[in-house]
């Protein structure tokens, strides 16, 4: 009886041991087949497909599936609410991640210890790493960012005898715009869209924040200053409403605007959408609000998150490292116009290349526009604040008093998020 009992115990130990080995093997993707599902969209999803193919070559037992998602998270949200069915890894816009942390607590894998051990925390831009933290813990890996600049038509500026590099302030920009328009019949200096992108860039440039001390803070001196500048541009007749994304492309193709105030990632759109204008565009840094002031701002960017639901967190983390913290992974990301938050890549030879369309090394140019980008606190509101924010610029440029517009926007965001307004 004792002998049989001991044999039974030994058998159980061996069974448990084998099970543990199988789980570890699956985690490392070495002996058992592992399938990773990654939720992403558009160009970002296409980039991940190519990165996945490269990763699978060195991890032959790992199969990666890119699951089509959307930037409104209509497929992801139900999986997080029900705590089942989420992809192992998924994308979120950087501005939305703080909302995710509040709305879906304990749904995201803590990367802090792993990233610290691998020495990665300090290798991402400070503003991007702060955005993925909660109570000092890191719950996502920064992906891409959107340092902004002024794209300008060389031929239009030359015809007006305007040196774009001599534009130091936004007041200089307005005066330059008047000259460019006078020399180029039917052309307007620049445009704004109803999604408030221009406002968001100016607001960030000034160090504005949407949430402060867990209160709605958009009704602020920075917001007033940004909207006053847009109104000043409109009053000088150098600003037109280009409506939306497609409206901007139409204006470009019809030679209707001389500049675009937008991030690095728009360069890829230009190469494809206005290919016949190759060689006609240059890029200079943003003007400052006052001489010697900050000339950097960010718009956009994404993060990659590992779900707590995932049964393959170890290999998921290895994929994140490969995709976002190696030169090989970032080489692929750059093919799709995804400008990295991972700063060591800025020194890679493959990063420093001449862009034939613009006739310059735009990667190195934009890399220099990342070191003084102010941190904007989006708080946990952006998933609920988009509707109130939409049309803010349009309402002001349509004649609404700036202070009134901001008060109404702040109150609407407060109502939709149930957060108090800052006094």
Quick: pLDDT tens for 42-62.
889 999 999 999 999 999 999
Nearest to 295 by CA among 357, 372, 232: 372
Q: Give dist(CA 64, CA 37) in Å, integer.
A: 6
Q: Which residue has the tokens 């999803």?
A: 45
Q: Record the pTM.
A: 0.88
Q: What are phi and psi of 402, to 5 degrees?
A: -60, -45
Cβ atoms of 42 and 68 closer than 8 Å: no
Q: What is the pLDDT of residue 22?
A: 44
Q: What is the pLDDT of residue 27?
A: 45
Q: What is the pLDDT of residue 311?
A: 97
- What tokens were used for 83? 């705590």
Q: What is the pLDDT of residue 20?
A: 44
Q: Which residue has the tokens 């000043």?
A: 232
Calculate the CA 193 to chain-centre distance. 18
Q: Are strands 141-153 and 137-138 parallel, antiparallel or unpaired?
A: unpaired
Cβ atoms of 343 and 125 closer than 8 Å: yes
The highest-level CATH class for domain 34-145+300-347 is alpha beta
Q: Give dist(CA 354, CA 233) in Å, integer.
A: 33
Q: What is the pLDDT of residue 213?
A: 93
Q: What is the pLDDT of residue 8?
A: 44
Q: What is the pLDDT of residue 297?
A: 97
Q: What is the pLDDT of residue 148?
A: 98
- What tokens were used for 289? 């609000």
Q: What is the pLDDT of residue 29?
A: 42
Q: What are phi and psi of 312, to 5 degrees?
A: -130, 50
Nearest to 89 by CA among 289, 299, 305: 305
Q: What is the pLDDT of residue 31?
A: 61
Rg of the chain, C-alpha, whole Å: 25
Intervals of CATH 3.40.190.10 along the chain: 34-145+300-347, 147-299+374-417
What is the CATH architecture assignment of 147-299+374-417?
3-Layer(aba) Sandwich (3.40)
Which residue ranges of the chain lie beneath pLDDT 70? 1-31
**Burial classification of residue 178, based on how many CB atoms lie within 10 Å of its CB (0-12 exposed, 13-18 middle, 19 or more buried):** middle
Which contiguous run of DSSP H or E holds residue 359? Answer: none
Q: Give dist(CA 116, CA 110) in Å, integer.
A: 11
Q: What is the pLDDT of residue 343?
A: 97
């Amino acid at each position: 009886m004792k002998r049989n009992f001991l044999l039974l115990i030994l058998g159980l130990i061996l069974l448990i041991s084998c099970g543990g080995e199988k789980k570890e093997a699956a985690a490392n993707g070495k002996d058992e087949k592992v399938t990773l599902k990654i939720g992403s969209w558009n160009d970002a999803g296409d980039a991940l497909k190519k990165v996945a193919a490269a990763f699978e070559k060195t991890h032959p037992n790992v199969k990666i599936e890119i699951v089509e998602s959307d930037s409104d998270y209509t497929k992801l949200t139900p999986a997080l609410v029900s705590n089942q069915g989420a992809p192992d890894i998924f994308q979120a816009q950087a501005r939305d991640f703080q909302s995710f942390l509040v709305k879906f607590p304990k749904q995201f894998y803590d990367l802090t210890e792993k990233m610290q051990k691998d020495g990665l925390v300090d290798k991402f831009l400070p503003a991007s790493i702060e955005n993925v933290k909660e109570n000092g813990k890191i719950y996502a890996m920064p992906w891409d960012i959107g340092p902004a600049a002024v794209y300008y038509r060389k031929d239009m500026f030359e015809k007006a005898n305007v040196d774009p590099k001599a534009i130091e302030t936004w007041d200089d920009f307005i005066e330059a715009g008047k000259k460019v328009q006078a020399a180029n019949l039917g052309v307007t200096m620049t445009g704004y869209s109803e999604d408030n992108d221009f406002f968001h860039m100016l607001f960030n440039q000034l160090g504005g924040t949407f949430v402060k001390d867990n209160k709605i803070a958009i009704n602020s001196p920075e917001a007033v200053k940004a909207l006053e500048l847009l109104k000043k541009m409109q009053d000088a007749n150098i600003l037109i409403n280009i409506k939306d994304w497609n409206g901007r492309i139409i204006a470009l193709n019809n030679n209707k605007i001389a500049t675009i105030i937008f991030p690095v990632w728009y360069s890829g759109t230009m190469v494809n959408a206005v290919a016949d204008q190759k060689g006609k565009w240059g890029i200079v840094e943003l003007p400052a609000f006052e001489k010697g002031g900050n000339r950097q701002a960010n718009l956009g960017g994404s993060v990659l998150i590992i779900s707590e639901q995932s049964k393959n967190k170890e290999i998921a983390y290895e994929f994140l490292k490969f995709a976002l913290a190696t030169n090989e992974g970032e080489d692929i990301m750059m093919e799709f116009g995804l400008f990295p938050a991972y700063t060591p890549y800025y020194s890679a030879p493959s990063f420093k290349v001449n862009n034939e369309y613009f006739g310059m090394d735009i990667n190195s140019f934009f890399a220099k526009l990342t070191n003084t980008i102010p941190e904007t606190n989006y708080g946990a509101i952006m998933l609920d604040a988009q509707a109130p924010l939409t049309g803010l610029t349009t309402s002001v440029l349509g004649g609404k008093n700036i202070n009134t517009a901001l008060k109404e926007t702040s109150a609407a965001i407060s109502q939709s998020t149930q957060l108090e307004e800052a006094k």
